[in-house]
Amino acid sequence: MAIVFLSDDPLQDVGELGARLQDPERGALVTFSGTVRGSTRGRRVTHLEYEAYRPLAEKQLRAIAEEAGERWGVTCAIAHRLGKVAVGERSITIAVASAHRAEAFEACRWLMDSLKTTVPIWKKEHFDGGAQWIEGSDTVPSPSSSTHNS
Amino acid sequence: MQVTVLLFASYQDAAGTDNLRLDLPEGVTAAGCAETLAATFPALAARLPAGRVAVNAEFADDRTILRDGDEVAFLPPMSGG
**Domain for residue B81, yes or no?**
no
Inter-residue contact B34 to B74 (CB < 8 Å): yes
Number of residues written out for chain A: 150
- Which pLDDT does position A113 carry in this prediction? 97
**Domain for residue B80, yes or no?**
no
Q: Do A120 and B18 touch (CB under 8 A)?
A: no
Q: If we measure between CA atoms, which residue out of A42, A93, A124 comes closest to residue B13?
A: A124
- Which pLDDT does position A129 carry in this prediction? 85
Please spell the DSSP secondary structure of B34-60, one letter per residue.
Answer: HHHHHHH-HHHHTTGGGSEEEETTEEE
Q: Which domain holds residue B21?
A: 2-75
**Domain for residue B18, yes or no?**
yes
pLDDT over 80 at B8, yes or no: yes
- B58 interaction partners in chain A (CB closer than 8 Å): 56, 59
- Which pLDDT does position A144 carry in this prediction? 62
Residue ranges, chain A, pLDDT below 70: 144-150
User: Predicted ipTM?
Assistant: 0.96
Q: In CATH, which of 3.30.310.50, 3.40.50.300, 3.40.80.10, 3.90.1170.40 is domain A3-129?
A: 3.90.1170.40
3-state secondary structure of A65: helix
Identify the closest residue of chain B to A112 by CA–CA distance.
Answer: B81
Q: Do B81 and A118 touch (CB under 8 A)?
A: no
3-state secondary structure of A148: coil
Q: Which CATH number do you get for residue B33?
A: 3.10.20.30
Cα–Cα distance for residue pair A24/A99, rounded to 1 Å: 9
The structural domain count of chain B equals 1
Read off the pLDDT of each residue in B18-41 and give the average, rounded to a whole number.
98
pLDDT tens sequence across A28-51: 999 999 999 999 888 899 999 999
- Which pLDDT does position A22 carry in this prediction? 94
- Which pLDDT does position A148 carry in this prediction? 47
pLDDT tens sequence across A124-133: 999 988 999 9
**DSSP-H helix ranges across A1-150:** 14-19, 54-72, 101-118
